[in-house]
Amino acid sequence: MATRVYETAIIKLIDGTLIEISPLKIKYLRQFMDAFEFVKTAKDDDEAIFFLSECARVCMQQYYPSIKTISELEDNVDLKTIYKIIDVAAGVKIQKESNQEVKEQAISGGADWSGLDLVKLEAEVFLTGIWKNYEEMEASISMPELTSIIETKRELDYNEKKFFAAIQGVDLDKQTGKSDQNAWEKMKAKVFSKGKTSNPNDIISLQGAAAKKAGFGIGMGLSYEDLT
């Protein structure tokens, strides 16, 4: 089975229309995260659901642009579908049947990108010369794609340096300990575990696409108890 950078899903509108959804492009992820800030300050579940609906409306700009307002969104999808949209779009996981408050689920069940220097990461990817400007780049790739590009670029850069070092009789692996790569893996582990660990081998850092790549992990049929 071919490895995927990210997973997609299909949702059905009330009129029967099928729509494929995937992680948000960075352009819309920025808007999503801005809208999600209001969820964190919601006074009750009703208000949290309203703000989550706004997050889903932002997602529809990418998936189905004809839905432009929350009212139009609510006319086309049910609450369970809204939760599925924000899960696939940005990794915010909410269970409709859970006894936990919606606000608490939203905050605890989503990936935390606050520790990422997104501008710096985008600058690194932009140097590949594929896009003419940052706006085009942000409209073209999602966070899983961004991290995949960076991983590949850094690996290629390192292998090139390693090759020229070997010509001079230098073992670059031994000299550097692959510090740059280790730092990148630790940063990703911190993001996916919401700050609970910087160890890339810790089970709580293996979620979503990272879990798929590893062959197991949180959200991939393996559960865990958070004792922190």
Are residues 21 and 69 located together in one domain of the fold? yes
Contacts 24+ apart (CB under 8 A), 12-17: 12/81, 13/64, 13/76, 13/77, 14/75, 14/76, 14/77, 14/78, 15/76, 17/64
What does the H/E/C string look like for 141-202? Answer: CEHHHHHHHHHHHHHHHHHHHHHHHHHCCCCHHHHHCCHHHHHHHHHHHHHHCCCCCCCCCC
The tokens describing 119, both together, are 């501008």
Are residues 148 and 200 located together in one domain of the fold? yes
Are residues 31 and 98 located together in one domain of the fold? yes
Are residues 23 and 51 located together in one domain of the fold? yes
**Percent of the chain predicted with pLDDT > 70:** 72
- Domain final position from 66, 82, 108: 108
Segment 156-181, tens digit of pLDDT: 888 888 888 888 887 777 776 665 55
- Domain final position from 51, 83, 108: 108
Nearest C-alpha neighbor of 123 from the set 162, 102, 150: 150
Are residues 89 and 153 located together in one domain of the fold? no
Are residues 82 and 146 located together in one domain of the fold? no
* Average pLDDT for 25-38: 93
Are residues 132 and 198 located together in one domain of the fold? yes
Are residues 103 and 24 located together in one domain of the fold? yes
* Number of domains composing the chain: 2
Are residues 95 and 71 located together in one domain of the fold? yes
Compute the Cα dihedral for 70, 71, 76, 79 and give only its sign: positive
For residue 112, the tally of other CB atoms under 10 A from its CB is 15
Are residues 135 and 68 located together in one domain of the fold? no
Q: Which of 113-122, 125-134, 163-172 has the highest mean predicted lDDT (pLDDT)?
A: 125-134
226 in a domain, yes or no?
A: no
Are residues 15 and 100 located together in one domain of the fold? yes
The tokens describing 20, both together, are 């494929």
Segment 9-31, tens digit of pLDDT: 999 999 999 999 999 999 999 99
CA distances from 163 to 39, 171, 181, 184, 215 (A): 50, 9, 17, 21, 31
C-alpha to C-alpha distance for 112 and 46, rounded to whole angstroms: 23
Q: How far is CA 44 from the centre of its chain?
A: 26
Q: Specify the range with the lowest mean pLDDT, choosing from 26-40, 46-60, 185-199.
A: 185-199
- Domain final position from 108, 140, 161: 108
Give the per-residue pLDDT at 155. 87
* pLDDT level of residue 110 (50, 70, 90 thresholds): low
Q: Specify the range with the lowest mean pLDDT, choosing from 67-76, 183-192, 218-227.
A: 218-227
Q: Residue 198: give the domain boundaries.
A: 118-214
* Average pLDDT for 194-214: 51
Confidence check: pLDDT of 228 > 60: no
C-alpha to C-alpha distance for 219 and 77, rounded to whole angstroms: 24
C-alpha to C-alpha distance for 126 and 116, rounded to whole angstroms: 16
Are residues 33 and 61 located together in one domain of the fold? yes
Q: Tell whether pTM > 0.85.
A: no
1 in a domain, yes or no?
A: no
